[in-house]
Copies of this chain bind each other. A is one copy, B any other.
Amino acid sequence: MRPAAGKTATLFKDTPLALDGGAMLSPVTVGYETYGTLNGARSNAILICHALTGDQYVASDHPITGKPGWWERIVGPGKLIDTDRYFVICSNVLGSCLGTTGPWEENPATGKPWGTDFPVITIRDMVRVQAALLDHLNVESLMAVIGGSMGGMQVLEWIATYPDRLHAAVMLATAARHTAQNIAFHEVGRQAIMADPNWQDGRYYDTGARPEKGLAVARMTAHITYLSEDALTAKFGRNLQGREAVSFGFDADFQVESYLRHQGSTFVDRFDANSYLYVTRALDYLDIAGRHGGRLSDAFKGASHVRCCVISFTSDWLYPTIENKRIVHALNAAGVPVSFAEIEAAHGHDSFLLDVPEMDHMLKGFIAAAARTRGLTGGTGA
């Protein structure tokens, strides 16, 4: 059964959502969470955009896994993004599987789950849905939009598409386009899913079988790209898993094998294989400069009033500093104010989710300044 989300909103009931791919969607349901309270001036809203397999549970327990929110270290009462002070919104992206319209949801035309009849969507389509959710929540403009990885790509599309609704924007460990290597890793994951006979051309929802093995392999492959080689070496090296010597067999002799298998097998409990196809496709299609004759800066022409912050991590080889710097250069070229730091962190791409004091320091200062320039007073800020 499709998991139930906390809050949901049904949008695009009267006017359908026109997708980049040409299809129309109506209605669109959005699963979301909010933390804190919108102030009277409606000026203290922060939208947090989640990554590929993330969700709206940024600061509260996940309804399936029971685990704490994925950014509770940062978001909550008295925390860096202080929900006593700000109204924080996070919504499940279009195409995903935790309350928002996606391949798992019923196709109104057939009364059955969409499966692969669901239209292919883009990062900009995800952002269009978020904008409609803000309308629904009576939030005209955001104090800040913040995201890492695919979340950062949504932030870029916010800057490109709805600059007038933004005061500030933070992008962590991200890129404005997918490289050939990025696409290659995702394609392997998709092929693993589609190779699983339980995938059944995407029409598996009513069959009692799901392509769990294929999805687990996809997750394992992707997971390697989230960690640096040094982090894997430091964490696991060639350590054996609960044994004195190798088994001369195909069990998980090495801790790193056991860890990856665990990543794969737990992932399938909380994520839908078709959603994985759609969301990775949206990532691969991202090429903001491509829409502007190859000039990324042209995408940001209307955003010279948006205070931006870009953070990359030294050991991130998925979206390395050079890709983050392309964004910074384009923002600069468009006259958009931008703070940038490449932060020394050993853990690879996932550093943005981890305890990196230098990142916290930069985020704290940037958000305090954004609040100040937004005219918000009170609270501790920086």
Contacts and interface: CB of A to CB of B under 8 A. Distances in A.
A10 interface: no
Q: A178, A180, A181, A237 — which one has the most chain B CB atoms within 10 A of its CB? A: A180
B120 A191 contact: no
A260 B184 contact: yes
A215 B220 CA distance: 16
Contacts of A264: 191
Interface string A181-213: 101110110111011110000000000000001
Given A188-B220, A192-B217, A213-B195, A248 B179 contact: no
B277 A187 contact: no
Contacts of A375: none
A214 interface: yes
Contacts of A20: 248
A235 interface: yes
A59 interface: no
A233 interface: yes
B232 A22 contact: no
Interface in A9-23: 20-23
B217 A184 contact: no
- Copies of this chain present in the complex amount to 2
A53 interface: no
A246 B285 contact: yes
B250 A277 contact: yes
Contact of A187 (B177, B220, B233, B290): B220
Contacts of A237: 179-180
A119 B248 contact: yes
A262 B266 CA distance: 31
A256 B183 contact: yes
Nearest to A177: B238
Contact of A224 (B21, B181, B233, B235): B181
A196 B103 CA distance: 24
A191 B191 CA distance: 14
A238 B183 contact: yes
Interface string A255-283: 01100110010000000000001000100
Interface in A215-239: 216-217, 220-221, 224, 229, 232-233, 235-238
A248 to B, nearest CB: 4
A281 B247 CA distance: 11
A229 B181 CA distance: 6
A232 B192 contact: no
A180 B236 contact: yes
Given A187-B257, A195-B214, A195-B216, A250 B281 contact: yes
A191 B217 contact: yes
18 contacts: A120-B249, A179-B232, A180-B254, A181-B229, A184-B257, A184-B260, A185-B224, A187-B256, A188-B217, A190-B250, A191-B264, A195-B216, A195-B217, A197-B197, A221-B221, A238-B287, A246-B285, A250-B277
